[in-house]
Amino acid sequence: MWRRSLSAGYRCFGCRSFGAKGLWGSHAVRRCSAPAFPLGRITALQAADLWKRHFEETGVMEPDHSSNYIIAYLLGAKTIESLEQGKLTEFLSQEKTEQMWKLCTRRLSRMPVQYVIEEWDFRDLTLKMRPPVFIPRPETEELVELVLTDLEMKLRTEVGAGAQLTCLEVGCGSGAISLSLLKSLPQLKAVAVDQSQDAVDLTRENALRLGLQDRLQVFHIDVMKDAEALLSLCNPVSTLVSNPPYLFSEDMMSLQPEIYRFEDHAALDGGKDGLKVIKQILTLAPQILSNKGRVYLEVDPRHPPLIQQWVEANVEETHYVETRHDISGRPRFCILQKEKSNKDHKLDLD
């Protein structure tokens, strides 16, 4: 049974439809102390209930999920539902009780549960998580699905099943997108870059743990500052994928404390209009991609028409293919394709 993301993890920053319990709120946190450590013995279920109530009283989001995921982790499972009932009604050892208090106290400080238990699931992978590296969100699983569907189709219809495919990911974070694509597509090789050394280290660590390191190269590159280094890595590639920072700067202050206080702001803040890194990726795309190669971007729901207009006015050889919607119907993914002009294409062939 896989862990499903807590709403504290959602990142549809532009969607105020989450309402009062959504992402929008003050990131200030009042200090709260842990409940008293039990004098006698306590079962796993009692510990989970006690902490659930404490989280509720102190305004921690997703109180139920938070304490359930922590107790499940301590008992060696992913979810409380996958534990035998007997395990939940057994007394916890002194050591496990102390660990429960330690981990739940971290959650009380509003640390996301993914950082508290130091791992999380993304599609069929379990990835190591470490602050401040961005925690992958469920909508990014949808981005991976749509890239995979296209690449599988390409293998079937255009290039042949035995062909080698290449992909560049800008802003790999924990490695969720690249590693997921590599796991599902043995014909794929990927290059992943990130401006954060923590992200580069975590992606490499996750690749090693999953045995995917031979098909993934990871580099510490800031695409805003070091376009030359980026271009020198691309041969060119057939796929460019990114879940870039796309939050409008003015919205940063409204984030939940879980996000604002623990995740790298450089993973979130996309500048005034949220398009700073996106524009750079699209400017470089014609030099990175092979002809008919595609760009797949996860964006804010306000972005697709802005991106289409901007590309049409500013980027040659790049055609806006379509906008895709996420599972809740919001326009969240942009697909673009490199189309060489007939003249350039002919010159290449000569």
Ligand X SMILES: C[S@@+](CC[C@H](N)C(=O)[O-])C[C@H]1O[C@@H](n2cnc3c(N)ncnc32)[C@H](O)[C@@H]1O
Q: Which residues bind ligand X (CB under 6 A)?
A: 134, 136, 140, 170-174, 176-177, 193-196, 199, 222-224, 243-245, 264, 266-267, 277
Q: From the CB of 331, what's the least distance to ligand X, in Å?
A: 18
| 289-298 vs 165-170, strand pairing mode | unpaired
Q: Which is nearer to ligand X, 279 or 294 (CB)?
A: 279
Q: Which is nearer to ligand X, 97 or 114 (CB)?
A: 114
Q: Which is nearer to ligand X, 165 or 193 (CB)?
A: 193
From CA 105, how far away is CA 96, in angstroms rounded?
14
CA distance from start to end of the chain = 55
Q: Which is nearer to ligand X, 87 or 265 (CB)?
A: 265
Q: From the CB of 286, what's the least distance to ligand X, in Å?
A: 18
- Which residues contact residue 28 at a Cβ distance below 8 angstroms, ignoring those fewer than 6 apart? 257
| Tokens, residue 13 | 């920053």
Question: Could you tell me if 52 and 63 are in contact, meaning their C-beta atoms sit under 8 angstroms apart?
Answer: yes
Q: Which is nearer to ligand X, 224 or 231 (CB)?
A: 224
From CA 73, how far away is CA 61, in angstroms rounded?
19
Q: Which is nearer to ligand X, 83 or 282 (CB)?
A: 282
Helix (H) / strand (E) element for 170: namely strand 165-170
Torsion of CA 344, 345, 348, 350, to 10 degrees: -100
From CA 316, how far away is CA 334, in angstroms rounded?
17
Q: Which is nearer to ligand X, 68 or 174 (CB)?
A: 174
Q: From the CB of 220, what's the least distance to ligand X, in Å?
A: 9
Q: From the CB of 173, what's the least distance to ligand X, in Å?
A: 3
Q: Which is nearer to ligand X, 151 or 223 (CB)?
A: 223
Question: Could you tell me if 69 and 79 are in contact, meaning their C-beta atoms sit under 8 angstroms apart?
Answer: yes
| Tokens, residue 221 | 């590159």
Q: Which is nearer to ligand X, 245 or 286 (CB)?
A: 245
On the question of a cis peptide bond just before residue 132, with omega within 30 degrees of 0, the verdict is: yes
Question: Could you tell me if 306 and 320 are in contact, meaning their C-beta atoms sit under 8 angstroms apart?
Answer: no
| Tokens, residue 167 | 């992909």
CA distances from 146 to 149, 186, 222, 224, 333 (A): 5, 17, 26, 26, 9
Q: From the CB of 230, what's the least distance to ligand X, in Å?
A: 8
List the one residue out of 29, 194, 6 whose CA is nearest residue 113.
6
List the one residue out of 198, 76, 185 whose CA is nearest residue 128.
198
Q: From the CB of 172, what's the least distance to ligand X, in Å?
A: 5
Report CA 62 to chain centroid distance, whole Å: 20
Q: Which residue's beta carbon is nearest to the bound ligand X? A: 171
Q: From the CB of 264, what's the least distance to ligand X, in Å?
A: 6
Q: From the CB of 307, what's the least distance to ligand X, in Å?
A: 16
Q: From the CB of 246, what's the least distance to ligand X, in Å?
A: 7
